[in-house]
């Protein structure tokens, strides 16, 4: 069983999500299907899929205009929330420390955080990929948790760019993440790969050791693109 999660970013409509959910009803798979969609769509009946949000406030209530708490997200019907996505880190200056607080907020409301880590192109070129990944995992995941989290390795330079790391690079990153999680007492935590996943590369990526599924951006928006990724693996 793999986890296939879509990140719709700021795209779609409630009608398009309903169409996707209807299409997923006919997919014969044991894989776990998650759609992380804008807040306004979280109350839609999600059928065989589960819904997630794409960000959460570090606060549980109060004078934080425009923010949405984990409890509110859970009340709307979501089971998951992405924290620390590359675009949040880039456009909203989210640090590992903030991401960890968001993950803590999610866990306290019963949501499973999907914690994203990954290196920028500058960090990659400076030879810092492994260091950034390891500190991302250690600093973005709350300590001493006994609840489920999911980690997503997303090389930031590859997101939305049609680029993917080599198989060896993905394998090395996922081994480091799995080993780091084990040393944190979180062995068995699923680790997804994300960045430019599509129907044509999904099964090869998911056959790499320690890759427990994928987080898909652009190719999760249309059933014709998303379903082949879901059915590419058992």
Q: Kindly list the distances between the CA atom of residue 151 and the CA atoms of 41, 83, 127, 128, 136, in Å, as whole numbers in the listed order.
A: 23, 10, 22, 19, 10
List CB contacts of 67: < 8 A, sequence separation 6 or more: 57, 59
Token pair for residue 5? 């999660």
Closest by CA position to 109, among listed 66, 63, 69, 149: 69
Angle between helices 14-25 and 223-230 (to 10 degrees): 40
Token pair for residue 203? 């099964």
Stretch that binds ligand PEP, among 103-111, 141-149, 183-191, 211-219 (CB under 6 A): 211-219
Shortest gap between Cβ of 5 and ligand PEP (angstroms)?
9
- 160 lines the binding site for ligand PEP (CB under 6 A): yes
Identify residues 73-112 at the interface with ligand PEP (CB under 6 A): none
How far is Cα 122 from Cα 129, in angstroms, rounded to an integer?
9
The only residue of 41, 115, 117, 159 in contact with ligand PEP, by rule CB under 6 A: 159
**Among the options 75, 154, 168, 169, which is catalytic?**
154
Q: Are 170 and 211 in contact (CB under 8 A)?
A: yes
Return phi, psi of residue 71, to 5°. -60, -40
Would residue 169 show up in a list of annotated catalytic residues for this protein? no
- 211 lines the binding site for ligand PEP (CB under 6 A): no
Would residue 154 show up in a list of annotated catalytic residues for this protein? yes
Q: Kindly list the distances between the CA atom of residue 20 and the CA atoms of 1, 14, 196, 199, in Å, as whole numbers in the listed order.
A: 21, 10, 20, 16
Identify residues 7-26 at the interface with ligand PEP (CB under 6 A): 7
- Cβ closest to ligand PEP, residue 7 vs residue 140: 7
The only residue of 21, 56, 83, 197 in contact with ligand PEP, by rule CB under 6 A: 197
Closest residue to ligand PEP, judged by C-beta, is 217
Identify residues 113-142 at the interface with ligand PEP (CB under 6 A): none
- 154 lines the binding site for ligand PEP (CB under 6 A): yes
Q: Are 216 and 201 in contact (CB under 8 A)?
A: no
How far is Cα 161 from Cα 188, in angstroms, rounded to an integer?
30
- Cβ closest to ligand PEP, residue 163 vs residue 187: 163
Instruction: Count residues binding ligand PEP (CB under 6 A).
Output: 13
The only residue of 112, 217, 229, 230 in contact with ligand PEP, by rule CB under 6 A: 217
- 218 lines the binding site for ligand PEP (CB under 6 A): yes
- Cβ closest to ligand PEP, residue 108 vs residue 228: 228
Active site (catalytic) residues: 85, 154
Give the footprint of ligand PEP on this chain (CB under 6 A): 7, 154, 159-160, 194-197, 215-219
């Amino acid at each position: 069983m793999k986890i296939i999660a879509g990140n719709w970013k700021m795209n779609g409509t409630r009608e398009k999500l309903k169409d996707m959910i209807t299409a997923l009803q006919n997919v014969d798979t044991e894989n776990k299907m998650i759609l992380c969609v804008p807040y306004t769509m979280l109350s839609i009946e999600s059928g065989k899929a589960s819904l997630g949000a794409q960000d959460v406030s570090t606060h549980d209530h109060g004078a934080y205009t425009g923010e949405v708490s984990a409890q509110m997200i859970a009340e709307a019907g979501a089971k998951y929330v992405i924290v620390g996505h590359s675009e949040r880190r880039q456009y909203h200056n989210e640090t590992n420390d903030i991401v960890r607080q968001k993950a803590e907020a999610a866990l306290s409301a019963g949501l499973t955080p999907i914690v994203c880590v990954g290196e920028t192109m500058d960090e990659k070129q400076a030879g810092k990929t492994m260091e950034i990944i390891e500190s991302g995992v250690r600093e973005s995941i709350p300590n001493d948790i006994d609840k489920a989290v999911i980690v997503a390795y997303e090389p930031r330079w590859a997101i939305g760019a049609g680029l993917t790391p080599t198989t060896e690079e993905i394998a090395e990153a996922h081994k480091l993440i799995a080993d780091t999680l084990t040393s944190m007492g979180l062995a068995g935590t699923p680790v997804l790969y994300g960045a430019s996943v599509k129907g044509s590369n999904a099964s090869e990526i998911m056959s790499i050791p320690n890759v427990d599924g994928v987080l898909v951006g652009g190719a999760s928006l249309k059933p014709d693109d998303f379903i082949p990724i879901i059915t590419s693996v058992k």
